[in-house]
Amino acid sequence: MRVPEDATGVRLAVGGPGRGLDGFRRSHREAQHARRVASLAGVEEPVTHFRDVAAAALASVDLEGARELVADQLGPLLASPEGRELVTTLRVYLQEQGRPRRAAARLGVHENTIANRARRIEDLLGRPIDDRVTELLLAATLAPLLDG
């Protein structure tokens, strides 16, 4: 789906396909969630698909709870001077199943940089990155949405 170039400022939020009235309702609800996440994140992209933001959408319905999860899981990282960079590295590293080379390629840095950042993250958190992976990934996904 593409937005025409002359449609500056137009943003679309898209739910999944569905059939009948129930399918329409589901798709509409998903689109509303996608719009809310795009708004929270300050997304400049013209189209936000629910399928791309589903976890963040559902986890951020309760903003207070989402903020508490982020603080509980990432507090020491966020308090550090390089906090945003470390949270981004953590998110990508976990999305790439702990593969430094793939994370490095996505972030445009050397593989050794990822390894160094991973050690720094573990030092700050006081635990291995592979401890509570689901919670860490969810918190790292939510953190940029809750900055503002």
For 107-144, the pLDDT digits (tens) are 999 999 999 999 999 999 999 999 989 999 999 999 99
DSSP 86-132: HHHHHHHHHHTTT-HHHHHHHHTS-HHHHHHHHHHHHHHHTS-TTTT
Q: Are residues 106 and 75 part of one domain?
A: yes
Say yes or no: 32 and 49 in one domain: yes
DSSP assignment letter at 49: E
Regarding whether 98 and 40 lie in a shared domain, the answer is: no
Q: Which domain holds residue 85?
A: 63-146
Query: 79-101: per-residue pLDDT in tens?
Result: 999 999 999 999 999 999 999 99
Q: 55 and 108 in one domain?
A: no
Global confidence as pTM = 0.79
Cβ 74 vs Cβ 140: under 8 Å? yes
Same domain? 54 vs 76: no
Q: Tell me how far apart the alpha carbons of residues 126 and 111 are, in angstroms, rounded to a whole number.
A: 22
- Number of domain units in the chain: 2
In the block, tokens 């793939």 appear at: 102
Residue 67 and residue 44 share a domain? no
Residues 91 and 114 in one domain: yes
For residue 6, tell me if it sits in a domain: no
Residues 75 and 129 in one domain: yes
Same domain, 34 and 102: no
130 shares its domain with 96: yes
Listed ranges 3-7, 8-12, 110-114; the one with the highest mean pLDDT: 110-114
